[in-house]
Amino acid sequence: MAQTQSLPFSIDGDWSRLYINGEWRESDNGTTIDVEDPSTRETVATVPAATESDVDAAYEAAAAAQNDWRQTPPARRQEVIQELLELLHEYEEEIIELLAYEAGGTRGMGETSLHLASDQATEAATLPRRMKGEHAASNIPGKENIVQRVPQGVVTVISPWNFPLNLSMRAVAPAIAAGNAVVLKPATNTPIVGGLLFARLFEEAGLPDGVLNVVTGRGSDIGDRVASHPESDVVAFTGSTEVGRRVAASAGENLAVAAMELGGNNAHIVTEDADIDAAIDAAVFGSFVHQGQVCLSINRHLVHEDVYDEYVAKLTERAEELPVGSAHNQVAIGPIINELQRDQMLEYVQETIDAGATLETGGETVDLDGVDDSLVVAPTVLSDVANDMTAACNEHFGPIAPIVPFSSVDEAVELANATEYGLSGSVHAGDVGTGKRIAERIETGMIHVNDQPINDEAHVPFSGTGASGVGGYNSEEFLKEITEKKWISLQHEPREFPF
């Protein structure tokens, strides 16, 4: 590895222990999981494989610590989050490097992740002072009604592998800021930057013991126990719709609040009046950033038949110009997270070609020097695609751009909505007003005009419809998930009762 010394936040650091009740401890049975660098396919770290007894210990610690933490003054809770924000900047380079080693993130992906995580922490720092209540008039003489907003209790955060830093931060930081305790279960592929890193950051920021607990391990071993734990009051999950349905069902057994951001099949609509070059600029980013491993990425390009050939040619040319290779080099396209994901997306491509689509470019892995079984997939453009072909109707989650023609705006809207998902999308239609009218007809939780679907701002609500999830993240939306209202009435004068 490139580093010459071991730093507490580097991949060379000791990540071999769980973080429970303010202590770094081995898993109950001492077993571990190897962390593989997607670029080199080498083992770069070892983390604990938690057991169900470790999970129980984490929730026990969280429940015990939460009562004191909820009573901590807002200013102190804010200070902890602000200190966390400063540490993010202090260890910026180490964190970006961790994302490259663990998630296969290019430099651009790492910088974007850090920016988004910082934005989330900045917004979370405002929450302790925004948990305000209200008074409500009473129909009973002499009664005063007070409605308070109080923390839910223990928040479970199950974070994904694609953007582990910011997608953990958007749940962990607000939950803690609002007075909750947290049990964080990161994805198996990214247990450090999505989990154990948070333990070290919050420990250094001065968070009291037990308020944050991190358990790493395989979902097959501890996932059900985490999702269904009786001490959990909120389950915040980001991941596939298939897994999300199981997680939500498990959470529901305990009547825990479920905040689920799930899959997407986002359409990028380009009409005959669009600025094609602007639409292509947006399309390149929206399809290929982080190898397309983004729930918000463009899954389908819906392009008017009058500009279809021009669009295909220009997108193909741009895709072929993108530098590809190891995430440790200056490239735009790095590796897919693992061979399972890689093989599935390439199978989608082949099935789409077999169904009649044309492969314009890509559709194969890119060899890397010294690497057996490379995980780098070339940016792929498919033309002559129908909306029901495999790469279009499934969330391919890769650097794949299926281009579907349409003949009218009504047809484009129908195609865009012909999916169970409703997460994000984008429209290029020549002017903002026309784009907005089209956007209003698309059944998604979010959609962007003269842009691409990948947008996230911590002060703006983030949510999907249909199979893309339930509940919402960011600002007031997530604050509602992690807090509840409590009615306290004060009877200032004797009350008359009928008997």
Residues labelled catalytic: 261, 295
| Burial classification of residue 416, based on how many CB atoms lie within 10 Å of its CB (0-12 exposed, 13-18 middle, 19 or more buried) | buried
At a CB cut-off of 8 Å and minimum separation 6, what does 350 contact? 363
Exposed e or buried b per residue across 69-104, where buried means at least 16 C-beta atoms within 10 angstroms of its C-beta: bbeeeeeebbbbbebbbebbeebeebbbbbbbbbbb
What separation in angstroms does the CA of 148 have from each of 71, 82, 143, 483?
14, 25, 16, 10
Q: Are 176 and 127 in contact (CB under 8 A)?
A: no
Going across the sheet that includes 483-491, the strands are 134-136, 143-151, 483-491
Coil vs helix vs strand at 313: helix
* Phi, psi of 110, rounded to the nearest 5 degrees: -65, -45
Q: What is d(CA 145, CA 134) in angstroms, rounded to the nearest whole number? A: 8
> How far is C-alpha 128 from the geometric centre of its chain's CA atoms?
23
Residues facing 33 on adjacent strands:
47
Q: What is d(CA 420, CA 385) in angstroms, rounded to the nearest whole number? A: 19
Q: Six-digit token pair at 465?
A: 């419809």
At a CB cut-off of 8 Å and minimum separation 6, what does 139 contact? none
| Helix residue spans in 322-456 (DSSP H) | 339-354, 390-393, 409-417, 432-439
Q: What is d(CA 276, CA 403) in angstroms, rounded to the nearest whole number? A: 14
What is the DSSP secondary structure assignment for residue 208, as one 8-state letter? P
Coil vs helix vs strand at 180: coil
Q: Are 447 and 425 in contact (CB under 8 A)?
A: yes
DSSP per-residue string spanning 227-243: HT-TT-SEEEEES-HHH
- Host H or E run for residue 449: strand 448-449
